[in-house]
Structure 1
Amino acid sequence: MPVTDVRTDADTLTMTVVADFAAPIERVWSAYSDPRQLERFWGPPGWPATFTSFDHTVGGRATYTMNGPRGETSSGSWEFLSIDAPKSFEVLDSFADENGQPLDGFPAQRMSFAFESTADGTRMVTTSHFDSVEALEQVVEMGQVEGITLAMSQLDAVLQDLRDYAQGKGTQVTLLDDTHVRITRLVEGPRELVWRAHNEPELMKQWLLGPDGWEMTECTVATEVGQTYRTRWAPVGDTEGEPFGFEGEALLIDAPRRSVQTERMIGMPVETLNDLNLYEEDGATLITLYVEYPDKETRDMILATGMADGMEASYERLERELLAV
């Protein structure tokens, strides 16, 4: 991950985050000065941000809302205090209500972002300044250290051309922490079609099959939040294995960009949270699936089943059977 160091200092009332990126300083600066790029990483996995305003001038303000997987929201605002492109900028960051106004009882922080060219790319040092030890401790207890670390783990995908970042790498599994996993796969095809392939039964039955020798015998799709879905598979011919299936509930549907569902194997009590995100660039779509497990043991057990290999077989079939047509 890009973050190399996080320090909190009660004496100076600061929290400092150091991150290194394999990209020139101008490229990193552009990611922080363009709201459409910021939306791809400002907010930890599962909490993507939407910037509703962005006045990138000294004295200007930006407002954003992060959207959680179960419909939760958390809003904030920036007031730009200084801008020295491409070396630094400083904002007053505040928790905000739905109208962008600061919330009482929540600490504001002055955040300075400093960018420096290095032999390998760019080093960014972010320093947050607080008014009191209590304010510093409050944001630490709220998980800001973990949130910033996970949010910046998404920045590599933003800084590179999408194909340079993911083409030819197949299905990639990244362990974010003990209970969260990020799975990515680049497919050559438009986002609209990839969304349909994940949500229309007649298309799902053509590709979502895992290794060869299996067929989808049942496919009930949730088309609205609160509805349940169910999918079942069975071996064909001489293929060994027992029929199995999954079911769950739709928690969020934002076509064609994002869907969040609970998932459990039929007949089993263990439930995961699956957060599917689709991003298109130059005719290719990056599929990103965030999975939340109940504990580390469950995470390791499920990954050890060869899940990633089965997903890769399905994605190869998706490109071959649907996207290449």
Structure 2
Amino acid sequence: MPITTVDRDTEALTMTIVADFAAPLERLWDAYTDPRQIERFWGPPSYPAQFTRHDAAPGGRSVYTMTGPEGEVYHGLWEWQSVQPRHFFEVNDRFAHADGTPNSELPTVRMRFTFEGTDEGSRVTTVSYFHSLDELEKLLEMGMDEGMTEAMGQVDAVLADLSSFAAGRATGTEILSDTKVRISRVIRGPIEDVWRAHTEAGLVRKWMLGPDGWTMPVCEVAINVGQRYRYEWEEAGNGGNRFGFEGELLEAAAPYRMVTTERMIGAPGDGTVNEMTLATVQGGTLMTLVITYPSVELRDMILGTGMADGMEASYRRLEREVLATAVA
């Protein structure tokens, strides 16, 4: 059990949990900032969590659910206040409604997570700040301290499973729900360069090509919120085989988050909403793309096209032809 101490201070209105791990500091930090990893331990074993958003940047948000043994679902969110990579981050942890909006009828807890290296590995100190004694007692009655203790007891297994999250693994696809899919890839390169590679037309043309043998004759990027973009691809030597996508930039917070709409040019029906989040992790930059489809049928049809394989080919080209050059 990694928990070293649990201290409840009714005068300072805080609860402090200290946990020690036999893992490097960078590995522990990544476990908290990678949505694929934190959802494996944030909820107690009988209430597993699922994160559909996890920004890990000042001003960002994390949106998660915990599902109980009888199928009951509880919604929560983090409002990110401050971050110093590999040292600390602070969030407001709130209950939420099903649509991800805050539930103001239930208490909000300010939480500060501090990370440090130790002789044996690393340590995280979690301090929860409450607004009143009544609020503290109410959340303790709801099982907050037991839940966190049970949840953190799962961290060791996540830290030991390095291979599942290491740089160099192929693009991963996870079905989150009937309409949501999460695509993840650790890209070998600094977050600023990965962001530029997604937002500068000259760089996009070099790598966002899918399998070999395709070109990108049209590459109109969207820089500011409200602008539209348009990408078209053509198979080399076959001018008749051409397709493209277009959409609008809905949100942008460089170099961490970008939200766009997307639909195939000329295709009927609704398109998708794509939420891309970048985070600095050991080995490079974690790219997380959550795609929301209008229907399960469209989700399955697109996944069946081999989309992930095409994306993996593009990310390998990004590392080889754009990021390697930038580092050199």
- TM bin, normalised by shorter chain, reads 0.5 to 0.7
Counterparts of 1:66 and 1:240, CA distance in 2: 53
The Cα of 1:199 is off from its aligned counterpart by: 0.6
Q: Distance in 2 between matches of 1:265 and 1:209?
A: 16
Instruction: Extract unaligned runs of 5+ from structure 1.
Output: 1-24, 55-60, 81-85, 95-101, 125-154
Matches within 5 A, 1:1-325: 26-27=20-21, 37=32, 44-46=51-53, 47-48=61-62, 49-52=78-81, 63-64=92-93, 74=102, 77-78=108-109, 110-112=142-144, 113-115=147-149, 122-123=153-154, 159=159, 165-237=165-237, 242-268=241-267, 269-282=269-282, 284-325=284-325
CA distance in 1, matches of 2:166, 2:149: 26
Deviation of 1:287 (Å): 0.9
The one-letter code of the counterpart of 1:247 is: E
Sequence identity (%)? 41
Change (3 A) 1:114 1:187: closer
Q: Any conservation in 2 of the 1:190–1:283 contact (CA below 8 Å)?
A: no
Relative to structure 1, the CA distance from residue 232 to residue 53 in structure 2 (aligned partners, 3 Å threshold; closer, same or farther) is: closer
Equivalent-residue separation in structure 1 for 2:181 and 2:160 (angstroms): 21
Paired residue type of 1:26:
D
The answer as to whether partners of 1:259 and 1:277 remain within 8 angstroms in 2 is yes
Secondary structure in 1 aligned to 2:196?
A: helix
CA deviation string 1:245-264 (max 9, x = no partner): 10111111010001000100
CA distance in 2, matches of 1:93, 1:178: 37
Structure 2 unmatched ranges of 5 or more: 1-18, 43-49, 54-60, 63-77, 84-89, 112-122
- Structure 1 residue 165: Cα displacement: 1.6
Deviation at 1:291, TM superposition (A): 0.5
**Helix, strand or coil for the counterpart of 2:20?**
helix
Structure 1 pair 314/62, CA: closer, same or farther in 2 (3 Å)? closer
Q: TM-score, normalised by structure 1?
A: 0.60
Residue in structure 1 matched with residue 9 of structure 2 by the alignment? none
User: Contact 2:79–2:91 at 8 Å: present in 1 too?
Assistant: no
Per the TM alignment, residue 115 of structure 1 is displaced from its structure 2 partner at its CA by 2.9
- Number of residue pairs matched? 240
Q: Distance in 1 between matches of 2:262 and 2:295?
A: 15
CA distance in 2, matches of 1:255, 1:292: 22
Q: Which amino acid aligns with 1:63?
A: N
Q: Which AA in structure 2 matches 1:50?
A: E
Find the aligned partners of 2:226 and 2:177 in 1 and give their Cα distance. Answer: 28
Q: What displacement does 1:187 show? A: 1.4
CA distance in 2, matches of 1:200, 1:235: 22
Tell me, yes or no, if the aligned pair for 1:92 and 1:111 is still in contact at 8 Å. Answer: no
Q: Equivalents in 1 of 2:95, 2:203: separation in Å?
A: 32
What's the CA shift for 1:74? 3.4
CA RMSD of aligned residues (A): 4.5
| Paired amino acid for 2:153 | T
The whole-number CA distance in structure 2 between the counterparts of 1:208 and 1:287 is 14
Instruction: Give the Cα separation in 2 of the matches to 1:260 and 1:193.
Output: 18
Q: Normalising by structure 2, what TM-score?
A: 0.60
Q: Look up the SS of the partner of 1:248 in the other structure.
A: strand
AA in 2 matched with 1:45: T
